[in-house]
């Protein structure tokens, strides 16, 4: 894969790089992207319907079962070379801020630290009433993660239902995390947007803020992306392939 020298120079000379990831960065770890995450029991549902407070209110066992199946899937897989390249990039540039829309912990397991999770995490369930964190079993699944209804556990503190620690549609994003992501985007020289279709707001504002603040924005995606012009670049391909090659071309040749 050939990279434009201008792009390589900008990455090498960047003072502050933001990496903004979506479900695509976990695809090569076998984690279905959000829209493909509905198989089996859930194939008849639109994720937009299930990932809402109303759905959990309406049918807690269906929704909790879906998140548990997804959590088990994450526990049963591992980071891919895309996650590892992002962790490696943090050692090659003066400052890197990693902002993810993903609710898995594959960035952390690849060695990234201080990950800004805009949409929460599968691994931090909490009480739906008093917000007390709830400790889940952390051992990988014995049987393959298949779909079944599951009653959500009860909070040890107040007895209310435990809910997934994710941000549902219609819910606000964690304010401090979003603020930190927006200010990093406004400050950075270069933003890598990896594996996101950029349809979900306000997260999708992160690359827009970087671009309007004069940063170079590089999309890494197998699908063509509509580019705004000037400072936007597209590297067509899978994150697990493109990112290691990009680092090698920029820092090792």
- Interacting residues with ligand BV8 (CB under 6 A): 22-24, 27-28, 33-35, 51, 101, 103, 119, 166-172, 195-197, 199-201, 203, 220-223, 238-239
Per the CB < 8 A criterion, the answer to whether 105 and 29 are in contact is no
Residues 6+ apart with CB under 8 A from 125: 133, 134, 136, 162, 163, 164, 165
Tell me if 132 contacts Zn ion by CB under 5 A. yes
User: Which listed option, Zn ion, ligand BV8, none, makes contact with residue 99 (CB within 5 to 8 Å by class)?
Assistant: none
Q: Which of 61, 157, 171, 236 binds Zn ion (CB under 5 A)?
A: 157
Active site annotation includes 157? no
DSSP-derived letter for residue 164 is E
Q: Which of 48, 158, 199, 227 binds Zn ion (CB under 5 A)?
A: 158
Of residues 83, 107, 117, 119, which has the active-site annotation? 119
Residue 5, token pair as written in the block: 């020298």
- CA angle at residue 30 from 28 to 34, to 5 degrees? 95
Per the CB < 8 A criterion, the answer to whether 100 and 116 are in contact is yes
Question: Closest separation between CB of residue 153 and ligand BV8, Å?
Answer: 18
Tell me if 127 contacts Zn ion by CB under 5 A. yes
Strand extents, DSSP E, 101-153: 116-117, 120-127
Catalytic residues: 119
Residues making contact with Zn ion (CB under 5 A): 127, 129-130, 132, 155, 157-158, 160
């Amino acid at each position: 894969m050939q990279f434009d020298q201008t792009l390589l120079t900008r990455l090498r000379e960047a003072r502050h790089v933001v990496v903004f990831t979506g479900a695509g960065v976990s695809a090569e770890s076998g984690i279905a992207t959000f829209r493909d995450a509905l198989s089996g029991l859930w194939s008849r549902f639109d994720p937009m319907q299930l990932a809402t407070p109303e759905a959990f209110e309406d049918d807690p066992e269906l929704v909790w079962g879906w998140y548990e199946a997804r959590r088990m899937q994450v526990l049963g897989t591992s980071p891919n070379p895309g996650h590892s390249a992002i962790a490696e990039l943090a050692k090659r540039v003066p400052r890197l801020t990693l902002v993810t829309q993903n609710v898995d912990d594959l960035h952390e397991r690849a060695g990234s630290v201080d990950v800004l999770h805009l949409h929460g995490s599968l691994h931090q369930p909490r009480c739906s009433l008093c917000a007390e964190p709830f400790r889940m079993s952390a051992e990988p699944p014995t049987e393959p993660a298949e779909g079944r209804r599951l009653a959500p556990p009860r909070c040890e503190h107040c007895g209310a239902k435990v809910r997934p620690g994710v941000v549902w549609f219609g819910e606000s994003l964690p304010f401090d995390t979003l603020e930190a992501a927006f200010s990093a985007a406004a400050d950075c020289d270069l933003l890598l947007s990896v594996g996101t279709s950029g349809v979900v707001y306000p997260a999708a504002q992160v690359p827009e803020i970087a671009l309007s603040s004069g940063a170079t924005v590089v999309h890494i995606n197998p699908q063509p992306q509509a580019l705004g012009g000037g400072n936007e670049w597209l590297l067509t391909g899978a994150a697990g392939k493109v990112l290691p090659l990009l680092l090698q071309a920029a820092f090792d040749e």
